[in-house]
Structure 1
Amino acid sequence: MKLLLLLVALGLAGAAPLEDSKECQPHSRPWHVRLHGGGASCSGALINDLWIVTSFECSPTSYSTVASLGEHDGTVDEGTEQHILVADVIQHGPYRSPLHSLTLVRLAEPARFTASVQPIPLASRCPEPGDTCHVSGWGSTTPYQHGRSRGLKCITVPVVYDQTCMNTFPEYLYWSPYMVCAGRLNTDNCLTGSANVMVCDGELQGVLWMNHGCWNPAHPTVYSKLCLYNNWIKNVMNNYVPTLPTETTPVTMT
């Protein structure tokens, strides 16, 4: 398993977006999940066979939202997809707080790891200004255009100093230490969509919190600083370990 994850991470470095459309090389982000239905239309990151990290804004619904894994083009059946219902939705409290934007989603059944479906490791360190990160999501890379793209899109953004965001949005942004500021002028700084996933050095470092780069390419975008949530994420996963049927446990079909 560790070897396979290493190969995936190494493959990311060489899996550049397609030159014209900023479309990801198909299945180069095997941890990227599309959450849809039940009021949700957003992205997430698979972190093990049962759990997905997404933003507070995403708001999936238990047993109504579907997690589509191994998907690149949402308009065709590629033969790599796994469509699994969402079982549990755990939002980081205090809910609707300006300090946090994070949701954990548990799948109704474990994902099967394949070349197109792999988890992304949690962050082993926090991102630093100057780090180069990769953001993926189903949105538009053209300012003022909305709607979901056919294929998964990828952009590359630099992490910048927190003060950059604080100086850029002083009138309405209450800066939190749980935020990461990324993107600047003359970089690929526009990708619409909800809960886009940011990966740095092969580790999960952020999900989209507030998107500004599509309105002004000089403006950075704000992501949840996931390196600070490792303990919370692990505690939630430990408390929600599913009880699997055994030979002595009858399974009731409804």
Structure 2
Amino acid sequence: MHLLLLAFSVGLVGAFPLEDDKACRPHTRPWQVHLHGGGVSCSGALINEWWIVTSFACAPTAFQTVASLGDHDVTVQEGTEQHITVADVIRHGPYRSPLHSLTMVRLASPARFTPYVKPVPLPSRCPQPGDACQVSGWGSTIANQYEPARQLKCITVPIVDDMTCMNTFPDYIYWSMGMVCAGQGDTDNCLHDGSGVMVCNGQLQGVQWFAHGCRNPAHPSVYTKLCLYNDWINGVMDRYAPLASTLPTTTK
């Protein structure tokens, strides 16, 4: 009888997905954006009142995708959200690996900064091996478990040197100078979000490119190395500036 109960218990464990307990403390990532609609559901980072940075894989669609700011649990209205339509989508070219994975998204109207909605600074320096960084997104943090997450998830990962990262790449992926890697086997090293946001020392340092740590926890995941793209990001914001932002403001 005891053996039967044990077998039944083991069967139940295998029948249900493992518990994912890496939810962020609510609203501690006020720059995190949930992009949804138009065939996408992914993350981005708010860098000013008009602009969001995300990965190439996210691929929002102008006037079909909505950016939800100030969100934590995407299944309920918490009273903190701002839902703003996407107006422009500018992808860095060439549009394929191993060259670049970066997309700029302009909102149709500016975000209002609140305790729940704030931008994250662009990097003032590149991350160094050993730096501790936080990655956040709406996805499972358990390897080979792909269920979408209701609540924003957070993991902490170390930056890994380039050679260590390159040595873990499968044959069909090539190294690019636009990549930075983070995570190792003895850390929480998986977040299934095609554009999870990586922040190091309070600065935006990456958006997820390849979630290698979700297939093998010993392997680092790959992020776009945003410190190399400051000029491109600022150039896009200048070229695609909304007309309203160029008008003089008056106060009474």
TM-score, structure 2 as length reference: 0.88
CA distance, structure 1, for counterparts of residue 45 and residue 244 of structure 2: 24
Does 2:180 correspond to 1:199? no
AA aligned to 2:151 is G
Please state how far the C-alpha of 1:142 moved relative to its aligned partner: 1.3
CA contact (8 A) 1:166 1:173 kept: no
Superposed CA RMSD in Å reads: 1.5
The unaligned stretches of length 5 or more in structure 1 are 1-19, 248-254
Preserved contact between residue 138 and residue 149 of structure 2 (Cα < 8 Å):
yes
- Of structures 1 and 2, the larger Rg is shown by 2
Change (3 A) 1:112 1:95: same
Q: Which amino acid aligns with 1:36?
A: H
Identity %: 69
Matched pairs, number: 228
Match of 2:7 in 1: none
> Whole-Å Cα distance in 2 between the matches of residues 245 and 35 of structure 1?
23
Structure 2 gap ranges (5+): 1-19, 248-252
CA distance in 1, matches of 2:156, 2:246: 46
User: What SS does the corresponding residue of 1:227 show, helix, strand or coil?
Assistant: helix
Structure 2 Cα separation of the partners of residues 161 and 98 of structure 1: 18
1:147 equivalent in structure 2: 147
Evaluate the alpha carbon distance shift between residue 214 and residue 78 of structure 1 in structure 2; reply closer, same or farther with a 3 A threshold. Answer: same
1:4 corresponding residue in structure 2: none
**Cα distance in 2, alignment partners of residues 207 and 170 from structure 1:** 20
C-alpha change, 1:116 and 1:171, in structure 2 (3 Å) is: same
Check whether the contact 1:46–1:53 (CA below 8 A) recurs between aligned residues: yes
Distance 1:91 1:246, change over 3 A: closer
* 2:252 corresponds to 1:242: no
Cα gap change, 1:68/1:162 in structure 2, threshold over 3 Å: closer, same or farther?
Answer: same
**What are the superposed Cα offsets for residues 38-91 of structure 1, whole Å, 9 maximum, x if unpaired?**
011110000000000000000000000000000000111100000000000000
| Alignment-mate amino acid for residue 91 of structure 2 | Q
Q: Which runs of 4+ in 1 moved over 4 A?
A: none
How far is the alpha carbon of 1:97 from its aligned partner?
4.3
Letter in 2 for 1:73: D
- The aligned counterpart of 2:52 is 52
Question: Shift of the alpha carbon at 1:207?
Answer: 0.1
For 2:184, the equivalent position in structure 1 comes to 184
Which residue pairs with 1:40 in the alignment?
A: 40
Residue type matched to 2:70 in 1? G
CA deviations on 1:116-138 (whole Å, 9 max, x unpaired) are 00000000000000000000000
User: What is the match of residue 213 of structure 1?
Assistant: 213
